[in-house]
Chains A and B, each alone.
Chain A
Amino acid sequence: MHVGLFIPCYIDQFYPNAAIATLKLLQKLGVKVSYPIHQTCCGQPMANSGFEHLTTGCNDLFIKNFAEFDYIVSPSGSCVLHVKEHLHSQEEEEKAVNVRKKVYELTEFLTDVLKVDKLSARFPHKVGVHQSCHGQRGLKMSQMTELVAAPFSKPMQLLQMVQDLELVELSRPDECCGFGGTFCVAEEAISVKMGKDRVADHVNHGAQYITAADMSCLMHMEGILRRQNSQVKVLHIAEILNAEEV
């Protein structure tokens, strides 16, 4: 099995540790991973702003970089969802379909493809899980509270395998954090208010860390936490699943 690692642009530039943890975790689990060095972005920021028609360049590049792998794995539910739903190609639609089928968000790849049932990680802290909307409602990584259906959560299932980690319960387990791509600046007031409320839910329930399978939500919440001089930190789920604190 050969996995192509897809690292969204802002993780590459701002959060290399999340990417490194993803790579190391996959390697630890015996997967052969390569990072196509010429990748840039999936085109989501443009598409969500109404400019999907301008994403052909991004799409073709994405296909070129990733078409050959058995699986494509990324530590970002939101980017994966975008690829799954909107990646097309005028010349090579067959390849696009194929790419759409084999792209996975990291935690769902661990639970559904690798069928991981134990991890060697240890993380002795109280952790709040932010269910990022695109991962949850889009990729169905966890059950949403809107539906009358049996609950499950792939990220939590994995976190429960981490030694000494304590999950905190939230008042609103799956409310959006308000990042929303360009929404975060176009609707600054609402975006920040949503972020503040989300952060408060975690803080009030004693979380020391807020984690998620989407770094963009965390970046937004981190911006708010740091502005509040809070001690609470954000950490991508890959970093916790790969944590070796003793």
Chain B
Amino acid sequence: MNTGTKDHAGLADIFNEDEARVDWHDETLWFVRAKRDKAAHTLPEWEALRENASKIKDNVLSNLHDYLLQFEAKAQQNGITVHWAADAEEHNQIVHSILKAQGVSRIVKSKSMLTEECHLNEHLQKSGIEVIDTDLGERIVQLAEEPPSHIVLPCIHKKKEEIGELFHEHLGTPKGESDPQFLTAAARVHLREKFLTRKAAITGVNFAIAETGEFVVCTNEGNADMGAHLADVHIACMGIEKIIPKRKHLSVFLRLLARSATGQPITTYSSHFNKPRAGQEMHLILVDNGRTRQLGRADFRNSLKCIRCGACMNTCPVYRRSGGHSYHTAIAGPIGSILAPNLDMKEYADLPFASTLCGSCTNVCPVKINIHEQLYKWRQVIVKEGYADTKKALAMKAMDFTLSSPFLYKTAGKAGRWVIKNAPFMVNNKLNAWYKQRDMPEPPKQSFSEWYKKNNNE
């Protein structure tokens, strides 16, 4: 996503120019968080399920090599063509070459965060292939020429009036019409025509089963199924970490996924693709794109356990008030902030700092990724690798110098209160960012140490 040179804080500033809109965005996502809470509370075994899911995923990461081989062999036996892509570029080329071989120039695609990560649409469009995103939210942002702002709710940042305007322009709905029911019906007609006329369909993958070689795609709209079951060619794209060992493990993940995502007990469709239908070609692309590197980082590898439910975004007090686009990466929010630095540490050096480390993400996460601890750890790595800005680095050194010396600390304190000048909320201030919208604490007549010396001579 091209955001110019702005970092998360800069983009968040822009988002916060319209406070009423921030309130609306925050409330909408909080509503989803509340639905998640309600759904979680229907299962007394919720925490045990999370623990179970987390352990299964740990096992997956520890045995990924063998599981991938097992999966590949089974899938091939089932008649699926399996491809391997080292990076985004190779993934895009594979998709392109499959389409080219079929002579297909217009395709439908259901939601896949991996293809967002790889910028597949741009790549195909450059080669003259038209891609229609069929998830309603994704179609909306596609018409708006924006990336999704949320992995589960792609156009959660858009108001219905704006969507009405887009549909008026592109689908010919009446001007001023913004009723969700009406707009959805219009999109249904618009997209049905695409499903019926496109010869190839791309889908994402939620889970791939090593034991059986099948893969599972979850949607509420049924768009993945409409695309796949009508197309001559089905291409499914997945990150290598989407493997789970056994079919029965789906019971654990399907119980958690939708409840965490939207508060539904399960998505409307959980489709298990085992073999191509008669006469159909089915391809599956296994993509690395930095995942093996992340697997080698002991502190960060378990970010690969993510099942992309989006719960960490809905609960994140920062995400709710800065919007998905402020993260300038395909996967926004807390999980995006621990995945992105692995892809490009310099470009995404700001993201691990876009958090208060409140820890809410870690505790809603259905696979128990220690997200906020990883944010903390990424900060240490980014600073050590030299991606922190130099002013901050100098200020921190001065701070350590003073704070390790009680003498300096106290004298500095006397000479106009050292903390007032150097406390974290005062250092590195771009024209004193604290004071812009907050009053300063009033310095008392004496510090506690001074009081203690006078009153408590033990």
Q: Give A contacts to B, CB under 8 Å.
A: 7, 9-17, 19-20, 23, 34-35, 37-41, 43, 45-58, 60-61, 133-134, 137-138, 144-149, 172, 174-176, 178-195, 197, 219-220, 222-224, 226-227
Contacts and interface: CB of A to CB of B under 8 A. Distances in A.
Contacts, number: 243
Nearest to B376: A48
Contacts of A57: 400-401, 403-405
Contacts of A56: 404
A221 to B, nearest CB: 9
Interface residues of B, number: 88
B433 A51 contact: no
B437 A187 contact: no
Given A45-B424, A50-B353, A61-B406, 12 more contacts: A11-B448, A13-B420, A16-B446, A23-B456, A56-B404, A148-B43, A181-B424, A182-B353, A182-B424, A184-B433, A185-B430, A223-B439
A22 to B, nearest CB: 9
B447 A13 contact: yes
B317 A145 contact: no
B428 interface: yes
A227 B437 contact: yes
Chain A at the B interface: SS class: helix
A51 B438 CA distance: 26
Given A187-B318, A190-B16, A50 B9 contact: no
Contacts of A7: 448-449
Interface stretch (B265-273, B332-340, B379-387): B379-387
A195 B438 contact: yes
B37 A185 contact: no
B145 interface: no
Contact of A12 (B434, B442, B447): B447
Contacts of A185: 424-426, 428-430, 433-434
Contact of A46 (B15, B399, B446): B399
A218 B263 CA distance: 33
Contacts of B128: none
Contact of B12 (A17, A20, A149, A190): A190
Contacts of B19: 193
Given A148-B44, A189-B9, A133 B358 contact: yes
B354 interface: yes
A129 B45 CA distance: 30
Nearest to A22: B448
Chain B at the A interface: SS class: helix
Interface stretch (B197-205, B297-305, B359-367): B359-367
A39 B407 CA distance: 10
A192 B438 contact: yes
A171 to B, nearest CB: 9
A223 B426 CA distance: 13
Given A9-B423, A40-B409, A189-B9, A222 B392 contact: no
6 contacts: A16-B444, A37-B453, A57-B403, A134-B357, A185-B429, A223-B440
A175 B447 contact: no
B317 A178 contact: yes
A148 B444 contact: no
B111 interface: no
B347 to A, nearest CB: 17
B357 A187 contact: no
A68 B353 CA distance: 36
A19 B44 CA distance: 42
Nearest to B458: A34
A61 B403 CA distance: 9
Nearest to A27: B456
Given A19-B448, A55-B400, A184-B425, A224 B437 contact: yes
Contacts of A37: 406, 449, 452-453
Contact of B318 (A179, A188, A190, A222): A190
B8 interface: yes
A219 B428 CA distance: 19
B436 to A, nearest CB: 6
B360 A176 contact: yes
Contacts of B388: 49-50
Contact of B419 (A10, A38, A47, A197): A10
Contact of B382 (A9, A50, A138, A144): A50
Contacts of B449: 7, 12, 35, 37
Contacts of A46: 396, 399-400
B413 interface: yes
Contacts of B322: 189-190
Given A20-B448, A61-B404, A185-B428, A176 B356 contact: yes
B26 interface: yes
Given A58-B400, A61-B404, A185-B433, A148 B448 contact: no
Contact of A182 (B417, B418, B428, B447): B428
Given A35-B456, A192-B437, A14 B419 contact: yes
Given A61-B406, A180-B357, A223-B438, A147 B444 contact: no
Contacts of A53: 380, 383-384
A129 B365 CA distance: 26
B30 interface: yes
B379 A148 contact: no
B321 interface: yes
A15 B19 CA distance: 32
A146 B315 contact: yes
A168 to B, nearest CB: 19
A157 B318 CA distance: 30
Interface string B148-168: 000000000000000000000
Contact of A54 (B400, B406, B413, B424): B400
A20 to B, nearest CB: 6
Contact of B41 (A14, A148, A174, A186): A148
B279 interface: no
B355 interface: yes
